[in-house]
Chains A and B, each alone.
Chain A
């Protein structure tokens, strides 16, 4: 190669970033072995690139995800169990309560009502976690452009909101509908979602704790090192002082 590649922008960049014709890069490599000036120029560029590697963005938690506002499901017409044209409202309500209670017993869900609040609790996190993969897809609502938003997947008070929504939903369902299976499915789905969310949150918090602990450990180590340094300095001074004193004593006793 007759020209210096340090003056040939294309050749230099293709060589640095390993782009372009391999044969051309090979020629550049051979030239670099023979030309010290070009070799230094290339090394300088590589050195700058190496320094760029140390510029890192701050560690942040992102976890964005697209979410959608909950839509009211369209009322479903489930009349196959009403061959006679329907039951009285009180009978439907009684049947709903029976089915709901049976469902709760089977699914190990603890439901308590007091002080005007309905509390629903899972007794076995493990069993519900396993069932989390079986959430019916009927819960997925098609996304509408106006309803989407992006939010960080960090711990929120969504659980409380969910349970309040569940309470409202149960109340309205108990009044107007007698389909216990539907309620049971919803309760299970809500609980599964809640458990999954709590597990995610727990994992996030655990990672926070581990990182905080590590940071504290490093800070402590640094402090200990500094203290040792100071101690060594003080000890050195003390030894020197003692030595001077000893020398003085030796000199005076000699006289």
Chain B
């Protein structure tokens, strides 16, 4: 039987650790992806993911359920990422680590029928996108991450980042515009050839 997040939260509040571990299993990958795309370092993202769930577990009795559990988790993770960057006095470095090659990418995300050339091209594009994202202001980058990869509504982004709805929309709009510019400067922006592009895969 599959429990909803709300049911698992209720059970966790009564001391059922295994229910909380189910929530961890369900949400650790989206949280890791958000942290990785924000911080750009695998180890940092792993630490932030771990800390996110620890904080969530400790704060669970105070979670009233006004927002979705996932939104609450995202907020904790984003705050931790922000603290992480400030603590280390560094800007986020969004880069594909040296150790990741096309085979690694393939094993996780690609069907085995993809050719080596396709994989290499996608890896190159992935590096290009990460570089372009690195150049975005933090607010725009966060808004785009939440919108594109986690499927939040503009209102949810606004609530999570404590800004008006119009600001959340502007951040996404300006972020996409800047991304297009950066990708074009890197020679990686493909002008549309009339076909509708595919959508990013959501993490949840």
Contact = CB atoms under 8 A, between A and B. Distances in A.
Q: A and B bound?
A: yes
A53 B200 contact: yes
B32 A57 contact: yes
A54 B126 contact: yes
B153 interface: yes
A160 interface: no
A57 B37 contact: yes
Given A54-B122, A58-B97, A46 B36 contact: no
Interface in B100-142: 100, 103-109, 112, 116, 122, 125-126, 128-130, 133
Contact of A150 (B50, B126, B180): B50
Interface stretch (A11-19, A108-116, A193-201): A11-19
B62 interface: no
Given A55-B126, A225-B116, A64 B49 contact: yes
Interface residues of A, number: 45
Interface stretch (A91-99, A125-133, A168-176, A214-222): A214-222
B32 A62 contact: yes
B87 interface: no
B192 interface: yes
Interface in B124-176: 125-126, 128-130, 133, 144, 147-149, 153-154, 169-170, 172-173, 176
Interface in B78-115: 96-97, 99-100, 103-109, 112
A44 interface: yes
B44 interface: no
B126 A68 contact: no
Interface string A10-31: 1011000101000000000000
A158 interface: no
A142 B172 CA distance: 45
Given A13-B172, A55-B130, A62 B28 contact: yes
A48 B36 contact: no
B49 A9 contact: no
A77 interface: no
B192 A53 contact: no
B33 to A, nearest CB: 5
A58 B126 contact: no
B24 A65 contact: yes
Interface in A50-85: 50-60, 62-66, 68
A10 B169 contact: yes
A221 B103 CA distance: 11
B129 to A, nearest CB: 4
Contacts of A47: 180, 189-192, 197
Given A51-B189, A62-B28, A9 B170 contact: yes
Contact of B173 (A9, A60, A215, A221): A9
Contact of B197 (A50, A60, A214, A218): A50
Contacts of A65: 21, 24-25
Contacts, number: 151
A46 B196 contact: yes
Contact of A58 (B36, B128, B183, B188): B36
Given A59-B108, A64-B50, A143-B17, A48 B189 contact: yes
A60 B58 CA distance: 25
Contacts of A145: 58
A248 interface: no
B53 A49 contact: no
A45 interface: yes
Given A58-B36, A148-B54, 4 more contacts: A10-B169, A56-B201, A58-B99, A218-B103
Interface of B: 15, 17, 20-21, 24-25, 28-29, 32-33, 36-37, 42, 45-46, 49-50, 53-54, 57-58, 96-97, 99-100, 103-109, 112, 116, 122, 125-126, 128-130, 133, 144, 147-149, 153-154, 169-170, 172-173, 176, 179-180, 183, 188-192, 194, 196-201
Interface of A: 9-10, 12-13, 17, 19, 40, 43-60, 62-66, 68, 142-143, 145, 148-150, 211, 214-215, 218-219, 221-222, 225
